[in-house]
Structure 1
């Protein structure tokens, strides 16, 4: 894969084989979405990305160089939002950011109650796979505050194709997090470096159990840079509901996992 930005990497995956699964999601976390399994091909992921990018530009006025705060967990929905921000040419900032023009979050708040940020606009993201209107998490409000965009209700109305007004470049800032800032090209280079360091083969199928969003995004890009795919897992924090190693091994076998990326001690390694 020769892509120089995350957006170009996704485009290469679509061109290579648009129907092949590139992201498989398992939700093992406690709560109403526990047990979900979602599979996205490159084409489907590109469609979600295009719709989110169109929402950012058409509804919220986001432009190349703007900052968009992603206040979301490690989740399949976070993936297409990050890709959408990068396709616009904006900067993904993880967590609250005073410079953010937009906050994309699973826990929206009234503007007067959002301490520490000047984000003028919010997008409320419902995590359940089949949500068609705002569906709160255990920390989210029952009803959306006035002026907050309901992603579940609005996203489907946006076009499946996005063409930026101002094409992003590899040198554009792309990811801002606690460890610093990456340009778009540097992020892809770092992803390739991770794949090389871990010895992931061409077409790797990578189990990703990391939960820091910056780690997850880098691991997904790394898997895709090999022409491969990823199985992203949201683990349970409750020891009583963590799948047994035998069950996890059966999952990795069923998903044909070849490699793993996650915190030490997570049962995601392969022989």
Structure 2
């Protein structure tokens, strides 16, 4: 990654320029058996489409606060980078009533309805599937995102010193987030090409860093596992071998 990268969106652009075909996020849900692998290029395409949805259809502006009510999931990672691309503050598990817009999984829809702004719901089904019946009062992400553009350009440059992420009562600017991600990557021993397996949630910085930001900052990749506790020791060992895991954060 480039030393001049100051936002998570910068890190993604550098990863795309360096090696677009390498894996970036490999996601498992051990409750459903789902496995999804996204290369840097595929992940960046999802981010571009989501950022276009956010900036265009949802009319989000830099500095707006988005309550992100999602678990550790590949689509959650996409939304985190889309927010960074637009300059929107991703308020992880934040209060929807105080947010400008909300993005919710299927288990937090009632809570998300307290948001007076735009509401987006994710079914979190395999292959990014849509809801069988869209929840009332929400746009179905799986319906809205496919038609968005594959390239994204922000209406205004993202300020690296502006707020980017709120989690656990702490708000980080984009540049602070990148600096912390680099520090964590060093502590985790991540190098370009490393494969980090994590079963941490996306409810705190440690989970967000291991599950996305630190591998991205290091030019590494993440094997992001939801419901990892459902695997027995043999299953975990088999995954570590099959995914060529070089480090763990569980």
Structure 1 104/253 Cα, relative in aligned 2: closer, same or farther at 3 Å?
same
Q: Which residue of 2 aligns with 1:216?
A: 207
Q: Deviations over 1:58-77 (max 9, x none)?
A: 11110011011110111111
> Where do 1:25-40 residues align within 5 Å?
25-29=27-31, 34-40=32-38
Structure 1 114/22 Cα, relative in aligned 2: closer, same or farther at 3 Å?
closer
- Could you state the TM-score of these two structures normalised by the residue count of structure 2? 0.91
Answer with 1 or 2: which has the greater Rg: 1
Partner residue of 2:57 out of 43, 59, 65: 59
Q: Deviations over 1:203-225 (max 9, x none)?
A: 22100111134333212211122
Q: Kindly indicate whether residue 247 of structure 2 is the aligned counterpart of residue 259 of structure 1.
A: yes
Q: Kindly indicate whether residue 155 of structure 2 is the aligned counterpart of residue 165 of structure 1.
A: yes
Distance 2:57 2:157 in 1: 19
Q: Kindly indicate whether residue 88 of structure 2 is the aligned counterpart of residue 126 of structure 1.
A: no
Q: Kindly indicate whether residue 25 of structure 2 is the aligned counterpart of residue 23 of structure 1.
A: yes
CA RMSD of aligned residues (A): 1.8
**In structure 1, the residue corresponding to 2:159 is in which secondary structure?**
coil
Q: Which residue of 1 aligns with 2:81?
A: 83
Pairwise CA distance, 1:103: 0.5
Residues 14 and 43 of structure 1 are in contact (CA less than 8 Å); yes or no, is this contact kept in structure 2? Answer: yes
Residues 187 and 218 of structure 1 are in contact (CA less than 8 Å); yes or no, is this contact kept in structure 2? Answer: no
Q: Which residue of 2 aligns with 1:99?
A: 98
Residues 17 and 42 of structure 1 are in contact (CA less than 8 Å); yes or no, is this contact kept in structure 2? Answer: yes
Structure 2, unpaired ranges of 5+? none
Structure 1 194/19 Cα, relative in aligned 2: closer, same or farther at 3 Å?
same
Structure 1 109/258 Cα, relative in aligned 2: closer, same or farther at 3 Å?
closer
Q: Deviations over 1:175-211 (max 9, x none)?
A: 1122411111111110111111222333221001111
Distance 2:151 2:41 in 1: 11
Distance 2:7 2:103 in 1: 22
More helix as a share of residues: 2
- Could you state the TM-score of these two structures normalised by the residue count of structure 1? 0.84
> Where do 1:116-265 residues align within 5 Å?
117-135=114-132, 143-146=134-137, 148-214=138-204, 215-219=206-210, 220-235=212-227, 242-262=230-250
**Where does structure 1 differ by over 6 angstroms across 4 or more consecutive aligned residues?**
none
Pairwise CA distance, 1:121: 1.5
Distance 2:181 2:37 in 1: 22
Structure 1, unpaired ranges of 5+? 136-141, 263-271
Residues 134 and 151 of structure 1 are in contact (CA less than 8 Å); yes or no, is this contact kept in structure 2? Answer: no
Distance 2:220 2:189 in 1: 13
